[in-house]
Structures are given as structure tokens and as C-alpha cells.
Amino acid sequence: MTRAVAERLTDIREAARDVIDITGALEDGAFHALPHADRIAHRALKNALSELGEAVKALPPELAARHANVDWRGFAGLRDVVSHGYFSLRQDLLWPIVRDELPQLLAAVAHELSR
């Protein structure tokens, strides 16, 4: 059974909230130490990013076109990087996505869900 667009948007919102809950109070150094300092949080972060990317992949192109400021393709690709990168994930590349790009994604999702 195919999930509706609103369900996919909700999936994205929930996964993004999980990412924020996991990383919310972390400073740069603590985020970069995650794989070693908190293995469970690191795995939870990877799972949430993977779920988020999978849901983004299922969105219709016209929705993404309405929010050109969001890197939809990047978020979709992030799922593959996180899922297949295993232990070679680069925290220094993930941090700007989590810190800077996730809020734009959440704003677009909120806008679409309010339509």
C-alpha cells in the first residue's frame, strides 16, 4: 500500500524531530565525537536520517519545486549515504546538514502540511 503525500510529510517531520532531539544540545565537538562517545545516539541519528531520506524520495516533484530553497535531492541521497556508508560516515559532512539544512526542510514540510 502506497503512503499518501501527507503521510510522507509527517514521516519526514517526525524523523527530523528525532534528529533534533538527538543532536539538539550538542556543540560541534560533541557531535563529531558521537560515533565513539555515544554509539546508541549515533545509530539513532543514522536511522532517523535514513527514514527522512526515504520519505523524501517518495514526494512528488511538484512539491519539491514549490520549495526550491530545500535540497530535496540531497536529502534523498543522504538516505543512501547513511544506509550504505556504515562506519565511514563523515560527521563533518553531516553536521552542516543537521545544523543548517534541516530547519529549511522542516519549514517546507510544515508549510505543505498546513495547505
Condensed to tens digits (0 to 9), the pLDDT of residues 64-101 reads 999 999 999 999 999 988 888 766 678 888 889 998 99
> Mean of the pLDDT values across residues 19-48?
88
Average pLDDT of 12-21?
96
3-state helix, strand, coil in the chain (%, to 5): 80, 0, 20
Amino acid 109: pLDDT: 98
Domain edges within the chain = 5-114
The burial class, CB within 10 Å (0-12 / 13-18 / 19+), for 73 is: exposed
Distance from the Cα of residue 20 to its chain's centroid: 9
Distance CA 113, CA 56 (A): 14
User: Is 27 exposed, middle or buried (CB count within 10 Å of its CB: 0-12, 13-18, 19+)?
Assistant: exposed
Q: Residue 2: which region, alpha, beta or left (left: phi > 0; alpha: psi -120 to 50)?
A: beta
Please give the model's pTM, rounded to 2 decimal places: 0.90
Is residue 32 scored above 90 in pLDDT?
A: no
Residue with cell 535531492: 73
Instruction: Give 53's pLDDT tier (boundaries 50, 70, 90).
Output: very high
pLDDT of residue 75: 96
In 3D space, the residue among 33, 102, 36 whose CA is nearest the CA of residue 69 turns out to be: 102
| Calpha distance 68→86 (Å, rounded) | 30
